[in-house]
């Protein structure tokens, strides 16, 4: 037996060789990509590095939570995009959870008609791409009547092609906030909070789509609680509602939380579809930046980094919560 053949017989040695091959492959491919990229960037005369972040952006952003003008830097423009992403994700998560839970519970309610209706909703929404639904929502919002004929479903709430206007809180007086009701002034509204048509469509789309998935998760969670638990609770004299609230839901939560986490992450990861209807989220802003500076690598890396942070943060939070739920119920 030759030395090499003998070595090859060793399991450890084989393991080392396989691992070395994988590392080598990764480095080779990575290096090849980096080299090509550098050559290409040079050929096209594109600058590298994050220096562009400090330069003037020069484009406007239609909605922003913080003061922003085209004279601000790229960094600030991206921050505006990030805040918009966070806002839409947070609201989407809250509304989708509320609606999804309600629908999931109703699918299990003894009411045949309501259970069927909710089932139709879930199946219809889950099997159609979100982007298509967003196009429809956006189409619907933009074909609403103008401000003067705005729909007024609830007092203080106006729905028109200018978006959704809702009552806001006015903190400017100092101390207690005052309710700030929107009023029609000329062709637009003053006062209250205005959600742009893009924002409203995106929020509606994300909420309705995600709620269908959450409903299924809630349903599966509740079904996972053994029947004996319900019977025992009823035998103790708890009402149906009390049984659900005190016995079933706490146990179901353990099953619900992990998939719910991934739905929450999905809301965040779906929010860049905003770009298709013109809501300036992080990806949309960074795309504009790419078009203007050509610095695709840096911008894409930045966006990816941000999303990875959001993902990691959210899953860390959920893991922590999950542990608590699991401990308490033991």
Partner 1 sequence: MSTPIIEIKDVNKWYGEFHVLKDVCLEVAKGEKVVVCGPSGSGKSTMIRCINRLEEHQSGRIAVDGIELGDDVKAVEAVRRRVGMVFQSFNLFPHLTVLENLTLAPVKVAGVAPREAESTAMALLERVRIPEQAGKFPGQLSGGQQQRVAIARALCLKPAVMLFDEPTSALDPEMVGEVLDVMSGLAAEGMTMICVTHEMGFARAVADTMVFMDEGRIVEVAPPAQFFQSPANERTRRFLGKIIGH
Partner 2 sequence: MNRPGRWIKANLFGSPVNTVLTVLALALLWQTVPPFLDWALFSASWGGGSPESCRQAGGACWTLLAERHRLMLFGLYPYDQHWRPLLAMALFVALLAASSHRRCWRPWLALAWGALIVVASLLMWGGVAGLVPVETAQWGGLPLTLVIAVLAIVVAFPFSILLALGRRSELPVIKAVSVGYIELVRGLPLVSLLFMASVMFPLFLPEGVTIEKALRALVGMTLFTAAYLAEAVRGGLQAIPKGQFEAADALGLSYWQTMRLIILPQALRLVIPPIVGQFITCFKDTSLVTIVGLYDLLAATKAALNDPAWRPFFVEGYLAAALVYFCFCFFMSRYSQWLEREVAKGTR
Q: Which residues bind partner 2 (CB under 8 A)?
A: 15, 18-19, 22-23, 26, 33, 36-37, 39-41, 43, 106, 109-114, 117, 123-124, 126-133, 135-136, 139-140, 143, 240, 268-273, 275-276, 283, 287, 290, 296-297, 300, 303-304, 307-308, 311-312
Residue 126: contacted member of partner 1, partner 2, none (CB under 5 to 8 Å, by partner type):
partner 2
- Beta-bridged to residue 190, according to DSSP, are 183
Q: Are strands 163-166 and 193-195 parallel, antiparallel or unpaired?
A: antiparallel
- Segment near partner 1 (CB under 8 A), from 9-17, 67-75, 121-129, 212-220? 9-17
CB of 13 to partner 1, least distance (A): 8
Q: The tokens 């000329």 sit on which residue?
A: 186
Residue 227 interacting with partner 1 (CB under 8 A)? no
Residue 9: contacted member of partner 1, partner 2, none (CB under 5 to 8 Å, by partner type):
partner 1
Residue 10: contacted member of partner 2, partner 1, none (CB under 5 to 8 Å, by partner type):
partner 1
The residue among 14 and 55 lying less far from partner 1, judged by its C-beta, is 14
The residue among 188 and 262 lying less far from partner 2, judged by its C-beta, is 262
Inter-residue contact 215 to 100 (CB < 8 Å):
yes
* Contacts (Cβ under 8 Å, ≥6 apart) of 283: 81, 85, 272, 274, 275, 303
Residue 37: contacted member of partner 1, partner 2, none (CB under 5 to 8 Å, by partner type):
partner 2
Distances (CA, A) of 194 to 61, 166, 315: 16, 7, 32
CA neighbor of 212 nearest in space, from 73, 116, 101: 101
**Binding-site member from 11, 44, 227, 330 for partner 1 (CB under 8 A):** 11
User: End-to-end alpha-carbon separation of the chain, Å?
Assistant: 59
Residue 176: contacted member of partner 2, partner 1, none (CB under 5 to 8 Å, by partner type):
none
Residue 26: contacted member of partner 2, partner 1, none (CB under 5 to 8 Å, by partner type):
partner 2
Q: What are phi and psi of 14, to 5 degrees?
A: -60, -45
CB of 297 to partner 2, least distance (A): 7
Burial of 295 (0-12, 13-18, 19+ CB in 10 A): buried
CB of 17 to partner 1, least distance (A): 12
Residue 14 interacting with partner 1 (CB under 8 A)? yes
The residue among 165 and 314 lying less far from partner 2, judged by its C-beta, is 314
The residue among 14 and 245 lying less far from partner 1, judged by its C-beta, is 14
- Segment near partner 1 (CB under 8 A), from 4-12, 99-107, 235-243, 310-318? 4-12
Inter-residue contact 329 to 250 (CB < 8 Å):
yes
Residue 19 interacting with partner 1 (CB under 8 A)? no
CA neighbor of 295 nearest in space, from 68, 78, 63: 78
- Residue 151 CB neighbour total at 10 angstroms: 12
Contacts made by residues 14-18, CB under 8 angstroms, sequence distance 24+:
none
Distance between CA atoms of 272 and 266, rounded to whole angstroms? 11
* Contacts (Cβ under 8 Å, ≥6 apart) of 180: 167, 168, 169, 170, 191, 192
CB of 84 to partner 2, least distance (A): 14
**Binding-site member from 2, 12, 127, 172 for partner 1 (CB under 8 A):** 12
The residue among 19 and 329 lying less far from partner 1, judged by its C-beta, is 19
- Footprint of partner 1 on this chain (CB under 8 A)? 9-14
């Amino acid at each position: 037996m030759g030395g090499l053949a003998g070595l090859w017989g060793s399991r450890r040695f084989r393991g080392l060789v396989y691992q070395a091959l994988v590392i080598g492959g990764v480095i080779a491919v990575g290096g090849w990509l980096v080299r090509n990229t550098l050559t290409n960037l040079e050929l096209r005369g594109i600058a590298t590095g994050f220096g562009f972040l400090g330069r003037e952006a020069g484009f406007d952003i239609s909605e922003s939570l913080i003061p922003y003008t085209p004279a601000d830097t790229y960094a600030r423009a991206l921050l505006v995009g990030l805040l918009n992403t966070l806002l839409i994700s947070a609201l989407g998560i809250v509304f989708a959870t509320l609606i999804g839970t309600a629908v999931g519970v109703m699918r299990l309610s003894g009411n045949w008609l309501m259970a069927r209706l909710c089932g139709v909703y879930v199946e219809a929404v889950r099997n159609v791409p979100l982007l298509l639904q967003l196009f429809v929502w956006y189409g619907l919002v933009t074909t609403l009547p103008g401000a003067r004929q705005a729909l007024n479903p609830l007092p203080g709430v106006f729905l028109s092609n200018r978006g959704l206007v809702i009552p806001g809180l006015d903190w400017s007086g100092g101390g207690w906030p005052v309710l700030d009701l929107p009023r029609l002034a000329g062709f637009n509204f003053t006062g209250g909070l205005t959600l742009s048509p893009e924002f409203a469509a995106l929020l509606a789309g994300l909420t309705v789509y995600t709620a269908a998935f959450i409903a299924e998760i809630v349903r599966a969670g509740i079904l996972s609680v053994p029947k004996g638990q319900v019977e025992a609770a009823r035998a103790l004299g708890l009402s149906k509602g009390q049984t659900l609230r005190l016995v079933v839901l706490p146990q179901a939560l353990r099953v619900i939380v992990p998939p719910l986490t991934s739905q929450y992450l999905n809301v965040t990861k779906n929010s860049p579809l905003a770009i298709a209807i013109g809501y300036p989220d992080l990806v949309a802003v960074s795309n504009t930046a790419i078009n203007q500076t050509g610095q695709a690598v840096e911008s894409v890396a930045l966006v990816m980094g941000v999303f990875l942070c959001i993902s990691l943060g959210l899953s860390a939070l959920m893991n922590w919560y999950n542990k608590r739920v699991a401990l308490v119920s033991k």
